[in-house]
Amino acid sequence: MGSLKDEVEVEVIEKEEVSSEALIYVNGVRRVLPDGLAHMTLLEYLRDIGLTGTKLGCGEGGCGACTVMISYFDHGLNKCVHSAVNACLAPLYSVEGMHVITVEGIGSRRKGLHPVQESLARSHGSQCGFCTPGFIMSMYALLRSCKAPPTEEQIEESLAGNLCRCTGYRPILDAFRVFAKTDDTLYTGQHKVDQDNGKFICPTTGKPCSCGTKPDQNGGTTTQNGASDHQYEPVSYSKIEGSRYSDKELIFPPELLRRKPTSLSLTGFGGLKWYKPLNLKHVLELKARYPAAKLVIGNTEVGIEMRLKKMQYDVLISAAQVPELNVVNVKDDGLEIGASVSLSDLLNILKKVVQERASHETSSCKALIEQIRWFAGTQIKNVASVGGNICTASPISDLNPLWMTSGARFQIINYKGNVRTTLAEKFFLGYRKIDLASNEILQSIHLPWTRPFEYVKEFKQAHRRDDDIALVNAGMRVYLEEKDGHWIVADASLVYGGVAAVSLSAQRTKEFLIGKSWNKELLDSALGVLENDISLKENAPGGMVEFRKSLTLSFFFKFFLWVSQQMDGKTSFTDSMLSSHLSAIEPVYRPSAIGSQDYEIIKQGTSVGSPEVHMSARLQVTGEAEYTDDVPVPPNAVHAALVLSRRPHAHIVSIDDSGAKSSPGFAGIFFAKDVPGDNMIGPTIADEELFATEFVTCVGQVIGIVVADTHENAKLAARKVHVEYEELPAILSIEDAIQNKSYFSGTEKCLKKGDVDLCFQSKECERIIEGDVQVGGQEHFYLEPQCSLVYTLDSGNEVHVISSTQAPQKNQKDVCHVLGLPMSKVVCKAKRLGGGFGGKETRASFVSAAASVPAYLLNRPVKLTLGRDIDMMITGQRHSFLGKYKVGFTNEGKLLALDLDLYNNGGNSLDLSLAVLERAMFHSENVYEIPNMRIKGRVCYTNMPTNTAFRGFGGPQGMIIAEAWIQRIAMELKKSPEEIKEINFQQEGAITHYSQKLDRFTLPKLWSELKQSCDFHRVREEVNQFNLQNRWKKRGIAMVPTKFGISFTTKFMNQAGALVQVYTDGTVLVTHGGVEMGQGLHTKVAQVAASAFEIPLTAVFISETSTDKVPNSSPTAASASSDLYGAAVLDACEQIKARIAPIASTRNFGSFAELVNTCFLNRIDLSAHGFYATPEIDFDWKTGQGNPFRYFTIGAAFAEVEIDTLTGDFHTREANMMLDLGYSLNPAIDVGQIEGAFIQGLGWAALEELKWGDAAHKWIPAGHLYTCGPGAYKIPSINDVPLKMNVSLLKGVSNPTAIHSSKAVGEPPFFLGSAVLFAIKDAIIAARAEAGVTGWFPLDNPATPERIRMACTDEFTSKFVTSQFRPKLSV
C-alpha cells in the first residue's frame, strides 16, 4: 500500500521532461503520485495532504460538499477545459495530467479572497459553512469555463448538485447573481437611475427597487433584496486561463500543456489494478486479458458500488480519454456519439445540433436535452458518460427509454476488433443485464434523425425535480402519416422506466396504436390497453405501486396532448384540444428566484442590532474554518468503525470476531465486556446500552467497535465480524405499538382545560368531527456527519474529546460514565459544527462514548467519523407522530372542545422523546382559543433506532395536527381556513391549556400586516381564475400562524455561564457554554460584549466551547442560546465594567486599550465569570399549572403553490414570512435563520420522506432504513426555493423579558414551512372539485408527488384507487 509521504512535492517550474509517472498539479503545486493509491479517491488524497477545505458530506456525489475544479488541456478542441467534479467519487489516478484547484487555491484570508468568496461572505450566504466550499467551487468552475458572464439560469443550474441545510439558498443565489452580467453597474459601480422617478434600477431585475440603498446604521428601516452593489472587475477570457477575475488566478500549468498523454499501469490496496489506456486497441487488449475488468469513466456508478454496496472489482480500466470512444460525428442519417462522451458534452452537442439541423430531424435530440437537464447535478454530468449510463442498465435510467424509443443503435466491439450493432430496445436483457459479452465493450451510439411528423417526448417524475432519480420515467415516439384525410399512426414506441427490472416497452399498446387514427377515440382505447400492458405487483420494489401505475397513464395522456398540439393547424388534423387542457403540457419554466428582506435596525451600543456578517464567514468561504474531522490526527492515532446489528429485534447467539482480527491494519475490537465503567447510558434515564449485550432492539444498534490504522480498514474489519441471531417479534410502527400496548413507562401525560366530555354532551357543539393525522419523521441531514476524536493525556489520567456536538457537557458526562472517571478528568471541546438541528444534542455523546473506550484502553487517539449512510441509520430522526382528534365547534366555526390523543415513536430508548411529546402537547392548540381541552400523550417503544431532538422539538408536530383539523372544519362549513383561524385566534391576556397567560401577544397585528402585504384577497381571486382556466394545473394558497414557546421545558436547564477576559491591548476573549453551529450564536454574543464595552466587534473574539472553561452547560438547543449566553456574557461584562469604572472616571482615556492597560497597572481583575438563570419559569405536570415558557415568538407565513395534477409535481410560487423578533440582536442573521428554517420546514412538509422496513413497506427488509443517503432521501435543493421569498420582521415591538429586548429565532420559523403543505391541499381541493369530488380527504406530510397525485382524483387514478386513498407512510 502506497504512502502519501512518498510523494514528491516541488514548486511549479518552467520546464519539466515528460514522465510516465502519475503527475498532477494541486493549486499550482506539482505532485508526483506514488504507485499503490488506486483505491484512493481524490477527496481522500486532498484531505490527507492537509487540504481540508474540501469536505466529505455523503461520499456518493449527492451533496456537493466535496466539489473541486479540474482543468485539463483538450488537444482536440485546442483549449483548456474547466469542470466542477465530486472529489468523493473521482479516483485519484483519474485526474493524472490535470490541474486540481480546491477552495484553498482561489483565495485565503492572508492572500486575499476571490470575488466569489467575498461576495458569498458579504451576502450572508454561509451559516454553518460546511457546504460553503462546494458552492464556491461550483460557481468558480462555471466562471472559469464561460467565455462570457453566465446567465442567472446557468448559475442556478451549476448549483443544482450542491445542497445546503442552513441558508434556504436565497443568500447564495444573491451572492452569485452579481456575476451574471445583466447590467454594467456591477462592474463599473455607476448605478442606473430611472429618468422618470429617480429611483435606483436593480441590475438583477431591471426594475426600480431599493436594493441599492445603504442600511441606516443609526437605526431605522432597511429593505434589501436579491442584488448587491459590490464592485467587481469585468470578465476577461483566454483559452488557457479561462475567465480571470484577478491577477492571482491560477493558470493552467505549462508543463501539463506541453506534456504528452501517458498510459498508466498502477496498483492499489487489496491487489487492485488501475489502467489508463490511450487508445481503443489498448482498451480491448486489457479487456481480453481481464474479462471481468470494469471500465471507468466518471466512476459515478462503480464508485458507489465499491464504496457503499461493497462490491469488489480487481481491475479498473479508465477509458475517459480514449479518443475513439470520445468521437462525435454528425452524419446524414443521424448522430454518432462515443461511449465515453460525458453527459455535459452530450448536452452541448445536442443543443448545437438542434440549432443547426432542421427542426423535424431533432425531436429525439430535444427530448434528450430536457431529460439530461434534470438528470443529475453538474458535477455528475461533467464526468458521467453516455456509455456508462447505458451499460449500468438501471431500471430507472432516464436516458435508456429514450434511446430505445428513438430507435438508437449501439455499436459493440470485441477484443479482436470485430464490430456488431444492436438495437437499443434489444440490448437490455434483465435487471442490470445487457447484451454485452465479457470481452466486448460499447463503442458508440447511433441516434437517427426523426422524420417529418415523427415526435419524440421525454417524461420523468421524481421525489424532487432537481438532481433526483426517477420514480417513473418514459420515452415516447409516434410517427404519423396522412391517409384519406386522416392522420394515421405509422409507427410508435412507448418505453417506461421504473415499472420493471428493465426499461420496459409497452408492446401491446404499440401494436394497438399502429394503423389507427390519432384522435380522442384512440386515446381512450389506448389508455385501456396500456393499463393492462404495464403491471406492478402489490409489494414491488420501490413501493408506491398505485402512483407508479397512474403515472404510466398520465404520461401517455400528456404525450397525446403534446403530439396533438404539435399537429394543430396541420392539414386534415381536426382534433384540436381545449385551451384548459394546455396546462397538461406546458413546459416547466422556472425564472430565477428573487427575494426581499424587510427589517428595522435598532442599534444599541456599537454593535447590537447591526446586521453584521457571521464572524466565521471569511474562514468558511476560504475553506480555512476547522471542523472536527479537519483536526489533525495526533501521532499513533487509529480510526474506528462500529459493529452494527442487522436485525430489528433478536437474541445474540454468538459473535465471531476472528475475521476482524486478521483484517489488514487491525488494532483492536471492543464489546460490552470491555467497557471500564457503566455500559448503560442515556440523557434522561440510563436505558440505552453503549454496546449490546444479550439482545439487539433495532437495526443499527451498536454491538462493538473496531479500530484500525485507516478508516477504510476499520470499516472492512467491522464488516468481517459475524453475529448469529435468534430473531424475535419486532414492533415497527406507532400502530404496532398501540396494538401491543408498547409504551415507555412513566410517559403517560395529560393536560386539561374546562370540561371536554360535558361540552361534547351539551347542545353547544353543533358539529363534531373525529379523525387522525399521521405526521412523518425527518432526517436532520446536517452536512457534517457525526465525528469525534478522543485522546488521552498523562498516560490515560486525562481524557480529551473533540466532538461535533451541541452538548459538550453531555459528551463529557457520558465519556466519564463509561470510563468510570470523574468529570474533572474529562474535557470536551467543540470549535464549530457543520449543522446540528438537534441531531447532535444527545446522539453525538453516544459517538464520543463509543470512541472513548478503545482510546482509553489502548491509550491511543481514536477518531470515529460516521459515514452518511450509517449516520442516517443509527442516530435517530425527528419523531413521527399519530394524533387522534375529536373537535366540537359551532356552525359559525367557533371552537368549543378538543380531545386529542398524541403518540410519538420513541424508538428503542427514551432519549428525549418524553420532552418532545410534552412540547407537542403544549403546542397542540397552536394559536387558537379553545375553552375545553384534553390532551393525552404516550411515548411508543418500537424496535427502531431511538428518535431524538430536531428543530422545533415536537412543537411543529403538535401544531400541524391542529392546522389539519382547522382545515377540515373549514371544509365542513364551506369556509376558508383563514376565516376559521381568525375567529378563533387567542387574544392578549388569554390563558392557555397549561395555565400560562399570553403577554404582549402580537399575532393579530402581525397577521393583519402579513395579509395586507401579500395582498391575500387579490391573490385568492387570481388563483380561483387560474384554476377555472386550467384543468391539469392548479394553484393554491394558505396562511399559517405559529406561537412558539421559548425556554427549555425542564427548568434546571435554563441556566448559562460565560467567561469574559479583557486583555491589555483592548481586545476581549469570550468563552461561553453555547456551541456555534451556523446559527450565528458566537456573532450575536460577541455583539453583546462589543456593545457592553463600547468597542468594535472586531475587538471581540470567541475561540471554542470547552467544558474546562465553562462547566455544566446546557445543550445549545431550544432556541434559547442567544438569550441565555448573551445574558451571561453581559453579566460578566457588567462585572468588569463595574471594576474599571473608578479608573475610567478619573480622566478621559484615548481608547479602551489605554483604559484597560491602566486598570491592569492598578491591579484590577479584567476577567469575570458571568451567569444567567431564566426567571419566572416553572411547570408542574401533576397539577398542569405553571409557566413553562419565558415568552413566545410569534409568526405567520403565506404561501402560493402550483401543482401538476397528473404527476404530483409542484413548485412554490411565492412565500412571505413575518415574525415578531422584538429588537433583533442581528437582523441579517435572524433573516437567514427564518429563510433556512422555512426551507427546512418545507422539506418536512412536502419533500422529505423516511421509508423504513415496516408493514407499509414490505419490500424493505424489516427494520432497515431505505432512505439512508442523498440518493434516496431528498432535502430541498436550490430548485425548491420559492420563486419569490419575502421575509419581514414586525416593527415597533420590544421584548423586555430577553436580552436587549430581542427574541429567539432558531426554531419558531420552522413550522411556517407547513404553509406550503396547506397551499398544496388548497390546490388539490380545486382539482378534486373539477372532478366532481368534494368533502374532506387525508393528506399526510410530507406531501410528496405520490400523495399530491393520488389525492387529485380523476379518470386515471380512479382505475386504481378510491378518492379517499391514503398512501402508506412510515410512522
Euclidean distance between CA atoms 1300 and 503, whole angstroms: 62
Residue 1307 designated active-site: yes
| DSSP code for 201 | B
Q: Which residues, 6+ apart, have CB-to-CB distance to 656 below 8 Å?
A: 721, 722, 723, 724
Q: Which residues, 6+ apart, have CB-to-CB distance to 700 below 8 Å?
A: 644, 645, 870, 873, 874, 945, 1265
From the number of C-beta atoms within 10 Å of its C-beta (0-12, 13-18, 19+), residue 1222 rates as buried
Q: Where are the alpha helices (DSSP H) in 83-166?
A: 115-122, 132-145, 152-158
Contact 1213, 1035 (CB under 8 A): yes
Instruction: Give the CA distances from residue 297 to residues 94, 301, 380, in Å, rounded to whole numbers and listed in that order.
Output: 8, 10, 11
Q: Where are the alpha helices (DSSP H) in 159-233?
A: 170-177, 185-188
Task: Give the other-Cβ count within 10 Å of 1151's Cβ.
Answer: 11
Q: At 394, phi and psi to the nearest 5?
A: -65, 140
Instruction: Give the CA distances from residue 874 to residues 410, 645, 869, 1307, in Å, rounded to whole numbers and listed in that order.
Output: 44, 10, 9, 24
Q: Please name the amino acid found at residue 1183.
A: T
Nearest to 829 by CA among 805, 853, 845: 805
> Residue 1349, Cα to own-chain centre: how many angstroms?
23
264-267 β-sheet, strand order: 264-267, 273-276, 315-318, 294-296
Angle among Cα 1275, 1278, 1282 to the nearest 5 degrees reads 95
Helix (H, G, I), strand (E, B) or coil at 848: helix
Q: At 1083, phi and psi to the nearest 5?
A: -65, -45
Find out whether the peptide bond into 729 is cis, omega within 30 degrees of 0.
no
Euclidean distance between CA atoms 42 and 163, whole angstroms: 20
Q: Which residues, 6+ apart, have CB-to-CB distance to 110 below 8 Å?
A: none
Q: Which residue has the cell 419533500?
A: 1247
Angle among Cα 845, 850, 853 to the nearest 5 degrees reads 125
Euclidean distance between CA atoms 433 and 416, whole angstroms: 23
Helix (H, G, I), strand (E, B) or coil at 33: strand
Euclidean distance between CA atoms 210 and 191, whole angstroms: 12
Task: Give the other-Cβ count within 10 Å of 857's Cβ.
Answer: 18
Euclidean distance between CA atoms 1195 and 1040, whole angstroms: 9
Q: Which residues, 6+ apart, have CB-to-CB distance to 883 below 8 Å?
A: 772, 773, 775, 900, 901, 902, 903, 924, 957, 961, 964
> Residue 585, Cα to own-chain centre: how many angstroms?
29
Angle among Cα 848, 853, 856 to the nearest 5 degrees reads 105
- Kind and range of the H or E run holding 337: strand 334-338
Q: Where are the alpha helices (DSSP H) in 781-912?
A: 808-819, 843-858, 868-874
| DSSP code for 191 | -
Instruction: Give the CA distances from residue 670 to residues 865, 989, 1254, in Å, rounded to whole numbers and listed in that order.
Output: 17, 58, 31
Question: Which of 249, 1202, 1307, 1330 does the annotation list as catalytic?
Answer: 1307
Contact 612, 1097 (CB under 8 A): yes
Contact 849, 639 (CB under 8 A): no
Catalytically active residues, by annotation:
1307
